[in-house]
Amino acid sequence: MIKRIVISFLLYVSAVNAGPYTEKGISAYIGADWRSAATYDSDCFTNPIFNRWASSVSSYYASSNVGYFNDTSKALGEPTGEDSGLVCLGEVEKGSNPLSTPGQITLDFSADGDVISNKKGYDFAIFENGFVANSAGSDEIAVGQSFVELAYVEVSTNGVDFVRFPSVSLTPAPTGIRPTEEYPCGEYPFLTLGVSNLFNLAGKHTNTPVNCSGTPFDLNDLVNDPLVGDKVFLDDIRYIRIIDIPGHGYYYDQAYSASFLDPFTRPLYNIFGIDNPIYDGWPTDETGGFDLDAVGVLEEQEYSADINLDGLVDLYDFVLFASSWEKNFGEDGWIERCNMALPRDTVINLDDLLVFVSEWQCIEKWRTP
């Protein structure tokens, strides 16, 4: 038991450590031990934290010819982790106008008579097809970093007025195709970055048959948007729009615009001074741009002390909490989900411990025996 806990802890930390944005991807499939499972494992089953999946596409536009990958039905239902299960948003071609209209897709979640509401915890998760580099193919590829294609995420009540999740991207330089000694013409497409430098951008987390996970989003991050409460209602979200970001640096995050704290200015924590350019593996070929696999609506997570999101507050969570004890936002070892006490602050401390103790051994309603 202890060995399994230690291994799970090491896998969690290896996945989140490095940058300040340490939210873990949410696994679509789990095994009998409630840990992430490969899609081909005989005992894997759909993670019951997911309430339902996207079932209708409202609109779709690809910014380039994506061939076989234009089938919007591939975005519906559960994720596959396979390239054959994707709908591609296309790529803004190298050499074209860098501000050409990027690809986008809008999913309608009211078609089945339900809506998405702002509950405790994350509200939905988006699955792309990013993967972790297991070997270095060039100087631009770092083992353990990820190849990702990123997208903005927006939500709407009426299908006309959308609000965008404010995001942060701290990738310092372009990561796209550039000449290397091995590939002098710059033809190697899979160039990597550290995903813990990214926040509220779809495509951040790994989605393969081995580890099929989605990037989670919390509607509560939108409460300060001026449209919220006027034309967009967070307890009545019917549409999710995903807009590809050509990662050449002409598109920006909202680090300054949304007054995010700069983790590198601790302990004073000033807000960012500028909005940052967003870089990803641009340009790409074949399934260029953001590749959507699925969007899943989540059950409410009533217990914030369930740090690893397996539905039970137990020793696994305590090991994670202890590892992050007295860590400050942006410091090595910081785990965002250990910051439980409201209002949120910038350190894991006694207030968070009191929350953890009060929820010890609690079980989420959606966790089945």
What does the domain layout of the chain look like in residue ranges? Answer: 1-26+303-369, 49-300
Print burial letters for 289-299: b (CB count within 10 Å at least 16), e (below 16): bbbbbbbbbbb
- Residue 239's alpha-carbon distances to 16, 64, 75, 109, 172, in angstroms, are 29, 24, 14, 6, 32
DSSP string, 87-98: EE-----TTS-T
- Residue 362's alpha-carbon distances to 48, 321, 354, in angstroms, are 17, 16, 14
- Whole-number Å distance between alpha carbons of 181 and 169: 28
- Whole-number Å distance between alpha carbons of 239 and 290: 18
Nearest alpha-carbon partner for 269 in 260, 278, 256 = 260
Residues 6+ apart with CB under 8 A from 268: none
pLDDT of residue 188: 45
Residues 6+ apart with CB under 8 A from 13: 323, 333, 335
pLDDT of residue 99: 73
244 half-sphere exposure, CB direction, 13 A CA radius: 34
Burial (0-12, 13-18, 19+ Cβ within 10 Å), 217? buried
Tokens of 267: 């302990």
Facing residues of 243 across strands? 104, 152
pTM value?
0.90
Tokens of 230: 């006027």
- Residue 157's alpha-carbon distances to 61, 151, 227, in angstroms, are 20, 20, 11
Print burial letters for 225-264: b (CB count within 10 Å at least 16), e (below 16): beebeeebbbeebbbbbbbbbbbbbebbbbbbebebbbbe
Supply the angle between the helices 2-16 and 315-323 in degrees, to the nearest 10: 50
Residues 6+ apart with CB under 8 A from 82: 209
Residues 6+ apart with CB under 8 A from 10: none
Report whether 308 contacts 367 (CB < 8 A): no
pLDDT of residue 98: 67
Tokens of 30: 């789990």
pLDDT tens track, the chain, 369 positions: 443 444 444 444 444 446 899 999 999 999 999 999 999 999 999 999 999 999 999 999 998 888 889 999 999 999 999 988 999 999 887 666 767 789 999 999 998 789 999 999 999 999 998 877 654 444 444 445 778 899 999 999 999 999 999 999 999 887 754 445 554 444 444 567 889 999 999 999 989 999 999 999 999 999 999 999 999 999 999 999 999 999 888 999 999 999 999 999 999 999 999 999 999 877 776 557 899 999 999 999 999 999 999 999 999 999 999 999 999 999 999 999 999 999 999 999 999 999 999 999 999 999 976
